[in-house]
Amino acid sequence: MPDGLPERAGFADLQHSNVPDRLLASWQRSEDYGIPLDAVEPVFTGTDDLSSLFFQCGNEVLADLHRTLANEPVSMMLTDAEGVVLSRLSGDRSLLQALDDVHLAPGFGYAERDVGTNGLGLALADRVPTLVRADQHYSLSLCTFTCAAVPVLDPTSGRLEGSVNLTTWSRSSSDLLLALARSAASNTAALMQARSSGRSARHVPRGQVFRVEVPRLEPGSGTLHSLSDAWNAAVTHAERGMRAGGVVAAVGETGAGRATVLAQAARHLFPRDRILSASAPAPTDVQTWLGLWTPEVGKPHTAVIVRDVDLLPPWVAERLRDLVLRSGAEGSVPFAVTAERFEDIPTALASLVDTVVPVPSLRERPDDAMALAHHIAMRVRGRAVTFTPSAARALSGYDWPGNVGELTRVVGQLAGRMDVIDAKALPPEVLAGNTRHLSRIEAFERGEIVRVLGLDGLTMAEVASELGMSRATLYRKIAQYDIHMERD
């Protein structure tokens, strides 16, 4: 156990103590996710959108609370719905330093899936006010803190916007912590309602800036070893390049799995090493990006993958090249990059590349769709999810223009709320199947026909009526669009 960390009960001990069931459930999920017990590994994503109504109202409420508690050892934070810390206020320097040490700071994600059981992660997962005391945290590195968090819902739409989180030392009194968090969340929602006037509080989607992966098993991790020959050939190609000590570039469409090819190759060759995967930053995050992860380049037992280097400004690419050359990473430890096309990689980095690995898109390996779907569902649900034959046919028959990223979004949303996924639950564009040779209007029409055909209890006459066409036209369209669906 690291110095300075308090001892705490194990999972088995908690199960026999007076601990809320939902806290035990969170511990079980954390264990299933493969979260390490001794340290947290949050993802830094940056704070791209600080203009939302939620952020402005919440920050104003916390600023008022901060003025009241300026001399107290309490940190007040605002997070978005994904658990990314948007702002943090505290007058206690030692507390702030301790929070920095565990990356509980603006720009870092503290969702339960990333760091295990913690106050704000559990509040967002269960959408209820939550207090997590010292030894109730899953990670030992968080056992010096007590955290209270309350989710904030948009007063108009009911959409989850984020949370208010108050954190203090575990040795401090926490009796009023949850009450203060409740009050701040309530005041934030009230202020949002008073100022809404039609303004949207929806956040701009954010991509990960970096993630550190350690060699641990996760639910469903074995699934990806049984993919198509085309995928395995790309992984083998990358392995050969890494084994030779060269810099490898994986190229292909966005979302095809370029970084995953590199990570699997590195994991096969160096099973005990850390894998650090970094993506191109927003212009405002460049200096933070360079400072956060580049000290890792050249470290023993650390493989580095830089994603989307074709998006890097030339001067950043030059900084990165110089860093790789100075650190001796080239040829000693795995260093790899991804891009859509090799010719788009900045010259400074392209000059380092020894092996180029083309990564096939998902539509070029349709047999992988269901293996990936099961893997994605297992990661989201923590257990196996069933796909009906009709859903499997639809998922395998769709051309996935967004590649694995689109598949992850579709399956992840469904697996989060159902144990059996049927074709009826799939989006119309997926039901429409391979529409590359159809116009946008034809693709929409095909999707609508498939959707209505999937509704329970409708006769073909009723399907035709719902679609506003005759039965003869419906049958003609079914033949024209090559639609094959089982009907009860």
Average pLDDT, the chain: 81
Evaluate whether 80 touches 86 at the Cβ level (below 8 Å): yes
Helix (H, G, I), strand (E, B), or coil: what is residue 280?
coil
pLDDT at 77 over 70: yes
3-state SS assignment for residue 466: helix
Q: What percent of the chain has pLDDT over 90?
A: 27
Position 218 scores a pLDDT of 33
Q: Which of 112-121, 252-261, 277-286 has the lowest mean pLDDT?
A: 277-286
Query: 78 by DSSP, 3-state: which?
Result: strand
141 neighbors 36 (Cβ within 8 angstroms): no
For 286-298, how does the pLDDT look when each residue is reduced to its tens digit (9 = 90+)? 777 777 666 777 7
**167: confidence class by pLDDT, cuts 50, 70, 90:** very high
276 pLDDT band (50/70/90 cuts)?
confident
CA distance linking residue 75 with residue 167, whole number of Å = 5
Q: Cα torsion for 94, 71, 77, 117, to the nearest 10°?
A: 60
Residues 468, 453: Cα–Cα separation, whole Å: 13
Most confident of 36-45, 109-118, 311-320, 474-483: 109-118
**What is the tens place of the pLDDT at every residue in 6-15?**
445 555 555 5
Q: pLDDT tens digits for 130-154?
A: 999 988 999 999 999 999 999 999 8
Looking at residue 213, the DSSP 8-state letter turns out to be E
Least confident of 46-50, 351-355, 456-460: 46-50
- Between 11 and 46, the more confident residue is 46
Who wins on pLDDT, 181 or 216? Answer: 181
pLDDT on residue 345: 93
Strands 160-169 and 108-109: unpaired
Return the pLDDT at 3: 42
Q: How far, in Å, CA of 258 to CA of 271, rounded?
A: 19
Identify the top-confidence range among 99-103, 207-211, 267-271, 323-327.
99-103
Q: How far is it, in rounded angstroms, from Cα 209 to Cα 214?
A: 17
Confidence of residue 196 (pLDDT cuts 50, 70, 90): confident
Q: What is the pLDDT of residue 439?
A: 67
Is 11-195 assigned to CATH 3.30.450.40?
yes
Q: Residue 479: pLDDT band by 50, 70, 90 thresholds?
A: confident
What confidence category does residue 200 fall into, taking pLDDT thresholds of 50, 70 and 90? very low
Predicted confidence (pLDDT) at residue 204 exceeds the cutoff of 50: no
CATH code of domain 363-416: 1.10.8.60
Q: By percentage, how much of the chain surpasses pLDDT 70? A: 83
Q: Of 195-209, 243-257, 261-275, 439-453, where does the model show the most confidence?
A: 243-257
Burial 380-408 (b: 16+ CB within 10 A, else e): bbbeebebeebbbbbbebbbbebbbebbb
Predicted TM-score (pTM) of this structure: 0.54
Residue 353 has pLDDT above 70, yes or no: yes
The pLDDT confidence band at residue 57, using thresholds 50, 70 and 90, is: very high
Locate CATH 3.40.50.300 in the chain.
Answer: 210-360
Range name among 9-23, 378-392, 413-427, 459-473 with the lowest pLDDT average: 9-23
Whether 358 has a pLDDT exceeding 70, the answer reads yes
Q: What is the pLDDT, as a whole number, of residue 290?
A: 75
Q: Give the pLDDT confidence score for residue 321 in this predicted structure.
A: 87
Q: Which CATH architecture has domain 427-488?
A: Orthogonal Bundle (1.10)
Whether the per-residue pLDDT at 165 is higher than 60: the answer is: yes
Band of residue 486 on the pLDDT scale cut at 50, 70, 90 = low
* Span(s) in the chain for CATH 1.10.8.60: 363-416
Residue listed under structure tokens 């009960």: 9
Looking at the DSSP bridge assignments, the partners of residue 251 are 339, 358
* pLDDT of 211 over the 60 cut: no
Residue extent(s) of CATH 1.10.10 domains in the chain = 427-488
What's the DSSP call for residue 272? T
Tell me the range of 64-73, 350-359, 372-381 where mean pLDDT is highest: 350-359
Q: Is the pLDDT of residue 399 over 50?
A: yes
Q: How far apart are the first and last CA of the chain?
A: 60
Domain covering 210-360 in this structure, CATH number = 3.40.50.300
DSSP string for residues in 313-351? -HHHHHHHHHHHHHHT-TTTS-EEEEES-GGGS-HHHHT
